[in-house]
A and B are shown apart, each in its own frame.
Chain A
């Protein structure tokens, strides 16, 4: 298979314009003759469905929550980047482009990233017009903050709830289309299969989560916007329902899966408190601006933090990275915390945590200033842990947060299956091996509002699409597959609960395919997970029936797909014999313990092809070239 990214020729700043000009348009009167399925109503799917509705297409939108407003985009706190240069601090489209390519450790496609930076500007305009209440200055103009290593202030934010406000804007636009009849919304529906007819994506099979009914939906094109797969690790900052089923099922039907091992770990999350822990909560990275991170110098030092004198504390980030100190990038900070805990110097009951201490900041700035800057976060921390961060240092630990990998798409966001488009976190496109803070929201909305609605038009206008309906043999076959999977899960009638399997696999993934990886561990994980998967199919216990609301059945189906994805992630991590961005292979590091990229051998996106159950995936490489941002090693010393 030859991967064609369909990147337009010409200078980078003209590519998107050229592409838009070259694309065929659908005549306005014809748009209503086309139907499009959008799976997922987060920032990416919600904005795409609303925009296509506005354009006049017939859209069917699906989500598994009870309302499109609950997609996990709602949880994003920090902000959204845009190259508006409202602060006049030297920002530009080119600079945002440059920062994103470099931040992604040179594993993203330049053309896509440039387009993203270009469109970022329109996103803010659109959102403000919808009524998104971004923070403002006293003069009434928009405020910005700086974020994640950028040297300019280009992040727009709405208190600590930027994702919520952006999502509500797009949800409202979506509901407007629902009212107008252009979009039909199917909440509490889960996609279980993709329907391919004549090699093209023509529909999906869903399970109605209330009645359990399994139905087929047919359309002229299918868009997947189902978010990330961080829940493969069981514990992550993702919502409990976030899953990989939609993209995994599409993958099994022929869509290549790119860079599955590229996952992002966020350094400032609230640590695990016990076995019952069900998810992890992120706290804004901004805490590292004033908090100092430390662990005791002594192993197994169980004294209270207040009893450990200054001289016996190790401020390891300040020690190892004197120029960036506590503000090193996410991956570096996360790995260093893990290192300290692996040495037995972790704090808290579980030993999996490091201190984030505001003692100095309070002495220097006063409690009032600290409260003003971080009051909300401190409150949240106290609500969860019951400890008061003004008097006791916070305990933090890294957690899985974002997945850069996803279904492979070309410049037009189409996967290797014609008619199957993938947007938002579900695709692999713009962040390379590491995502910069405040860039995921930007990408989701760029894809959904401004890219997909155009590129899908070109597909519809230039493709011959036969009239088909749900009685087509291929649709029926897909529906039977979905039915069979449900029956199989209910039929095992074993002894172990779904969660107990998921926890065990998640732990294995976290230990071996998490913050740092090595060949031996990855091989072990692959073997272990395969065995666990077999045990799952022999011993899982799912109570209840298929024809009703059955939350254990939902979880079981998602886990079944996570098992397969987890093995591919380990494979991908094993194959990528270099360290880059969020992927750190212990074998490939500098003598000082920093990541070592190998551009000669690994400057490509790894796109994996499914070859059938039990068969090995085949690797395809999309080689990446860097014509504008030149390959260079990151350094934060």
Chain B
């Protein structure tokens, strides 16, 4: 065996695996982020039925509740995705703190977006929001007057509280920034970058982020302005 081969194989023996590698973790974040992104789009479309009146929305909710397979399938998938996504995020954050123990006295950004630099803020805020959101509209503990099954009513009464509405608006802005970077970044993480398509991905990311923020934010705003009651 040649000297070089010894060296190479010596390395491979203790080479960390896929998950132990930041690139592997990032790929997992990209895939799970993509799934979550798909979900938030679907979720928004569902939510927007609020504009069609209580019957439509409640019927939609009931349909979901009845199709147990779909419901639990989705819940398990989403939970798995969130766990993987969040675990990776926290582990990578730990690595990053170790990688730069001493901070700069002065640091200026030379060419990155605000959204991209704040992924590690927008993410955890989203996590907090997701928990609150589940306790607000799914389980009800965080809702002042929760009525199981009466989705339309819960939404309207929920958003009549200004702090709750504000929390939703802030959270949606966070989701917007998270995805403004996330939607093109996930392509990069799995190795897709092309001078022709990447600018398109970036545009797509901006448009999708705006649509999501606009669509979701419109609901509490509509409630607070009395458009929906």
Contact = CB atoms under 8 A, between A and B. Distances in A.
The short answer to whether A and B are in direct contact, CB under 8 Å, is: yes
Interface of A: 53-54, 56, 176-177, 179-182
A290 B3 CA distance: 51
Contact of B6 (A54, A56, A177, A180): A180
Interface in B1-38: 3-4, 6-7
A160 B208 CA distance: 44
Nearest to B10: A179
Contacts of B7: 176, 179-181
Contacts of B6: 180
| 10 closest A-B pairs by CB | A180-B3, A179-B7, A180-B7, A180-B4, A182-B3, A176-B4, A180-B6, A181-B3, A181-B7, A179-B4
A182 B6 CA distance: 12
A54 B3 CA distance: 8
A615 to B, nearest CB: 48
A58 to B, nearest CB: 12
Contacts of B3: 53-54, 56, 177, 180-182
- Secondary structure of the B contact surface, majority rule: helix
15 contacts: A53-B3, A54-B3, A56-B3, A176-B4, A176-B7, A177-B3, A179-B4, A179-B7, A180-B3, A180-B4, A180-B6, A180-B7, A181-B3, A181-B7, A182-B3
A53 B6 CA distance: 14
Given A179-B7, A180-B3, A180-B4, 12 more contacts: A53-B3, A54-B3, A56-B3, A176-B4, A176-B7, A177-B3, A179-B4, A180-B6, A180-B7, A181-B3, A181-B7, A182-B3
A56 B4 CA distance: 11
Interface residues of B, number: 4
Nearest to B8: A179
A82 B7 CA distance: 34
A180 B7 CA distance: 5
Nearest to A176: B4
A56 B3 CA distance: 9
Contacts of A181: 3, 7
B67 to A, nearest CB: 57
Contacts of A177: 3
A54 B6 CA distance: 13
Contacts of A182: 3
A177 B6 CA distance: 11
Interface in B78-121: none
Contacts of A54: 3
A536 to B, nearest CB: 39
A34 B6 CA distance: 21
Contacts of A53: 3
A182 B2 CA distance: 11
A476 B58 CA distance: 92
- Interface-centre pick from A53, A54, A177, A179 (highest chain B CB count, 10 A): A179
Contacts of A176: 4, 7
A179 B2 CA distance: 12
Interface in B47-67: none
A60 to B, nearest CB: 16
A50 B3 CA distance: 13
Nearest to B6: A180
B50 to A, nearest CB: 58
Nearest to B5: A180
A176 B3 CA distance: 9
Nearest to B11: A179
Contacts of A179: 4, 7
B153 to A, nearest CB: 67
Nearest to A53: B3
B203 to A, nearest CB: 31
A56 B6 CA distance: 14
A468 B51 CA distance: 92
Contacts of A180: 3-4, 6-7
B2 to A, nearest CB: 8
Nearest to A179: B7
Contacts of B4: 176, 179-180
B5 to A, nearest CB: 9
Nearest to B2: A180
A214 to B, nearest CB: 31
A461 to B, nearest CB: 21
B44 to A, nearest CB: 48
A506 B6 CA distance: 50
- Interface-centre pick from B3, B4, B6, B7 (highest chain A CB count, 10 A): B3
A179 B7 CA distance: 6
A53 B7 CA distance: 13
A53 B3 CA distance: 9
A182 B7 CA distance: 11
A459 to B, nearest CB: 23
A17 B210 CA distance: 74
A498 to B, nearest CB: 31
A179 B4 CA distance: 8
A64 B9 CA distance: 32
A178 to B, nearest CB: 9
Interface in B171-189: none
A28 to B, nearest CB: 12
A617 B3 CA distance: 47
Nearest to A54: B3
A179 to B, nearest CB: 4
B6 to A, nearest CB: 7
A618 B200 CA distance: 74
A131 to B, nearest CB: 15
A404 to B, nearest CB: 37
A53 B4 CA distance: 10
A392 B184 CA distance: 45
- Interface-centre pick from A56, A180, A181, A182 (highest chain B CB count, 10 A): A180
B40 to A, nearest CB: 44
A54 B7 CA distance: 13
Contacts of A56: 3
Interface in B190-212: none
B3 to A, nearest CB: 4
B69 to A, nearest CB: 54
A181 B7 CA distance: 8
A176 B6 CA distance: 11
Interface string B155-168: 00000000000000
A99 to B, nearest CB: 38
A287 to B, nearest CB: 31
Nearest to A178: B7
A180 B4 CA distance: 5
Nearest to A182: B3
A182 B5 CA distance: 13
A180 B3 CA distance: 6
B142 to A, nearest CB: 57
A181 B4 CA distance: 9
A545 to B, nearest CB: 25
B7 to A, nearest CB: 4
A52 to B, nearest CB: 12
Nearest to A32: B3
B84 to A, nearest CB: 35
A181 B3 CA distance: 8
A39 B7 CA distance: 25
B1 to A, nearest CB: 11
A636 to B, nearest CB: 48
A54 B4 CA distance: 9
